[in-house]
Structure formats: structure tokens, C-alpha cells
Amino acid sequence: MAKTAKSKKIVSMEEALWKSADKLRGSVEPAEYKHVVLSLFFLKFASDKFETQRKMIAEKYGNKFVDNIAFYTKDNVFYLPAESRWSYVMENAKQDDIALKIDTALFTIEKSNPALKGALPDNYYSRLHIDTNKLASLLDEIDKINTDDSENDIIGRIYEYFLGKFALAEGKGKGEFYTPKCIVNLIAELIEPYDGILYDPCCGSGGMFVQSIKFVEAHSGNKKKVSIYGQEAINTTFKLAKMNLAIRGISANLGEKAANTFTNDQHKYLKADFIMANPPFNQKEWRADNELTNDPRWKGYEVPPTSNANYGWILNIVSKLSQNGVAGFLLANGALSDDGTELKIRKQLIENGLIEAIIILPRNLFYTTDISVTLWVLNKNKKARVVEQNGKLKRYRNREDEILFMDLRQMGSPYEKKYIELTAEDRAKVTSVYHNWQQEGYEETYKNVPEFCYSASFDEVKEKGFTLVPSRYIEFVNRDENIDFDTKMKGLQAELKELLIEEEKSKADLLEVFKELGYELT
């Protein structure tokens, strides 16, 4: 029988995930771990929500309505037939046909809920041939996970966790990783996607969309005013994105199938009001030499080189922006100063007044790379105008000949020992500077700050050869000029003396221990 709630030991998600993966060793390749665990976790998550809703219906309307599907869909809860509920899976966890029962459960959920079409794996567990005991043990670990985590992107967290743990086995260097919540929040807080079309050309597990909708709701906006479009090239990740969005009741058009954004654009004629993206960094050989040379997305610009897709992603984003569209996306720092064709495209972007802000982020924000990356903000309309946004009037000044540079490398707080996250306070400081700089009366609210921000004119950027490296514009203090060498050396002298004394004491203690044991070191 399934365990009762009282007998369960609820463990942290990370602990349960690690134990879950450990159960799979020797049965499946590490690259498959996250997919095996994610679908089971989805099954438990959906079942827990279903059981909560079922209990509420019974208490409020009576038992005769507990199988009325409309009472579930109205609250964005999936209706689960008996054979697809977690309790049924756990009751049969040690049966020889448990893999088939899991596949049947997932198939039944998808068939009963149109929003999940194409999201769940088909006959996946039966094909894996995982040992029954190992699969049962895995189910026991999943059963311990507390799914009540309304503040975070749960599926994204799991995805990020597995990509971090097994980056050497898959994904590293391909850019196929989940974007940390603090970065997504920063982008959303900068571009403010309250009302209109939101697009992500490389949406991964859909975390950008999840956090953007949370941003809208947190600011008393209406998520129904945001239309979501996205695309993902990797089929398993495409399914994951659909699963992630469906479980939260977020409607989205991710195209007909998983497809390469460059060679099979699923939204050719889309014009988006907001674009958020984290494209693969420095993607090599993204097109053949004679491929996409006349693509309309490059119209008015040089054709992006085959050696690196960074500027291909930039021009794809530019081509999708509406007349007042704004985009926030991440790129490797090299894109700020690349020469050759990239320089020509960058020069064109700057001359066309599209680049609004360039923001260097701290290192160690991502699980799968420790490099410092850049957040680009593009804006199709940097002219003076008045806009009603979420019930408030914003008076923008003309910024066509200016670019805001910011350096956040001294910001952030330690997170899970080796990682950094931008706190709410950090993000508030950054967004306040950015929005003040954009608006009328900025002379009273914005100023250039050494080692943090600088508003550069077009002529300044032109004079520096159209480089977008923030340190070429932001003033940096030479701290060496302010160091009292004698005081510094005396401080180091005292520290070193103390360390040597402690070392001698440790050595004496060790010799004494061996002497007492009868093994004196002579």
C-alpha cells in the first residue's frame, strides 16, 4: 500500500534528487537521469495538486462533483483518472509491470488534458528496461519530495540541478541550461513585460516565461494580457517546457514541434513587444557556408558569420521586435568586442540606435559555466514618448544617441557555497538606475558612478571603435595610489607571524602525540 502522509519523512528537494539519481546508476546513462526523474516528479506534482483540489471539491460541493472535470480545469488543475494517480503508482511500485503502469499513467494524463499534448514521454519507461527494484526505490525517493513550492520554478530547478551535476556528461558548452531565477527576474524588471507578446527564440525549459508571469502577477498585472511565443530545438527540452508551462496553467505557442530557430523558424511573421532569451553561448557551425545567406532576418545588416551564432541570435531578435519592442538577452562577453563581420553588425546596431543598455553580470551565476556574461537590452523606440504601463504613465526622454553601461561584478551574494545570486536589493538598485536614466528629469535622479554605471554618447562609442565593453566607458578607481605601503606590509607581517606561531604549536602537539604512543620522532 502507499505510504500515509504521517509515515513519510519529507526531505529537501536537492537531497531527494541526488538520492533519486543514485538509484539509477548502472541502469541508464547520466544524460537520461533528469528525464527519468522529471516525468515521475511531474506525475507526483500533478497528483498532489489533483488530490488537494479533489478534497476541496468534496468539502465545498459534495462527493458527487469530485469527478467533474470542469471543477479541476477552472483552477488550472489537471484531472487524473484513477490509473494515472500517484497513489496508484505507489501501490504497484514493486510489481513487475510498474514501468508499463507509469507509461500508461502518463499517456492517460496527456489524453485527458489537451494542454499537455506532446508534453509527456511516450512509452519511455518500458523502453528503458530499468530493474524493477531500482525503479521502485526511485519511486520511494520521489514520494518523499514536498511539492508545495509555490515560490519557485520547480521543474526548472530540477532541470538546472541535473544539468549542473552532470554537465560533463551532456550540455556543457552548448548553452543548454536553465537560466537562474535571479537573472530572469532582473531581465523582467528591466523590460517590464506587462502587456503584449512575449517571445523567447530558445526557450529551454520555459523558465523565462514562468518567472515573467510571476513578475506580472507580483506587480498587480494581468497575465491574460501577455501572449507567450517560444521555440526550442531539443525535443526532450521542448517537452519539458510544455510540461513546465502546462502545470502552471500558462498558455503558450511553442510551435508545432521542436525545431532549430535558424533553419526552421516556427514564428516567421511574429512581431513581439518583449523578447527574453538566453541563447547558447558562442555556438559554432550553426549554419553551413551557403545556408541562410539571404535570410530576411539579416536584411539591412551583414550576414552573421558561420563561426559563431552570437550575432545570428541578435539579428533574429531584432527582426522579431515590434515598432516599440524591447528585448533583454544574455551573451558571452566576447560579443562586445568581436572584430570582422561582428564589428560591422555591431556598428550598424549602434548607428540604428537599437542598443539601450549593456550590463556585465557577476561570475558564478550559472551552474554549468563560471564565466562572466553580458545582459544586452535592445529597444526599437528610444525616442521621447509618454506610455501608459500597468496603469501608470511613464515619460521617456530621447535616448537615441546614448547607451547605458553597467558593471555588476562587485554585486551578488553567495549561494549554495560556490555560486552567486543577485538579491532583490541588488536588482532593485540596478533597475532603479536604468529606469531613472530612461525618463524625463533624469538629471535629478541619475548620475554616472565610478565602477558601476556610465551613460555614453554615440560619439564616445564611435571614438572607441564601437566596442561595447563597459570598462572602456565606466570610470575605475586606481586603488594602488591610495595604499599606504608601510601600513599594509606591517599588517601582513603580523598575520604571517601569527600563522608561523600556530604552525610551530601544531607541530609540537603532533610530536607529543607520537611520543605518548611510544613512537617518538627523533
pTM of the model: 0.81
- Average of per-residue pLDDT across 78-85: 95
Beta-carbon neighbour count of residue 293 at 10 Å? 11
Instruction: Please check the confidence at residue 9 and state whether its pLDDT lies above 80.
Output: no
* Distance, C-alpha 105 to centroid of its chain: 29
| Partners of 470 in the β-ladder | none
Q: What is the pLDDT of residue 504?
A: 81
Q: What is the pLDDT of residue 12?
A: 60
Q: What is the pLDDT of residue 478?
A: 63
Domain residue limits, the chain: 5-148, 181-472, 483-516
Model pLDDT for residues 433-490, shown as the tens digit of each residue: 999 999 999 999 999 999 999 999 999 999 999 999 999 999 987 655 555 666 667 7
Strands (E), 101-212: 196-200
Model pLDDT for residues 320-341, shown as the tens digit of each residue: 999 999 999 999 999 999 999 9
**Grid coordinates belonging to 269:** 511573421
**Residue 481 has what DSSP assignment?**
G
Q: What is the pLDDT of residue 168?
A: 37
Instruction: Please check the confidence at residue 513 and state whether its pLDDT lies above 60.
Output: yes
Distance CA 180, CA 33 (A): 20
Model pLDDT for residues 379-429, shown as the tens digit of each residue: 999 999 999 887 788 999 999 999 999 999 999 998 766 788 999 999 999
Distance CA 373, CA 362 (A): 7
SS (H, E, C) 484-510: CHHHHHHHHHHHHHHHHHHHHHHHHHH
Closest residue by Cα to residue 154 from 261, 296, 12 = 12
* CATH 1.20.1260.30 correct for 5-148: yes
Q: What is the pLDDT of residue 444?
A: 94
Question: In sequence order, what DSSP letters do the residues of 28-60 get, joined into one string?
Answer: S-GGGHHHHHHHHHHHHHHHHHHHHHHHHHHHH
| Paired sense of beta strands 385-389 and 272-277, if any | unpaired
| Paired sense of beta strands 226-230 and 373-379, if any | unpaired
State the average pLDDT for the chain: 87
Instruction: Please check the confidence at residue 81 and state whether its pLDDT lies above 50.
Output: yes
Q: Which CATH class, in words, describes the domain spanning 181-472?
A: alpha beta
3-state secondary structure of 383: coil
Distance CA 181, CA 424 (A): 11
Judge whether 108 and 84 are in contact, CB under 8 Å. yes
Model pLDDT for residues 134-190, shown as the tens digit of each residue: 999 999 988 888 777 555 566 666 666 665 555 434 434 444 456 888 999 999 999
Judge whether 480 and 487 are in contact, CB under 8 Å. no
- Average of per-residue pLDDT across 486-512: 75
Closest residue by Cα to residue 41 from 183, 156, 169 = 156
| Paired sense of beta strands 413-415 and 402-407, if any | unpaired
Residue with the bigger pLDDT between 417 and 67: it is: 67
Q: What is the pLDDT of residue 160?
A: 60
Judge whether 194 and 216 are in contact, CB under 8 Å. yes
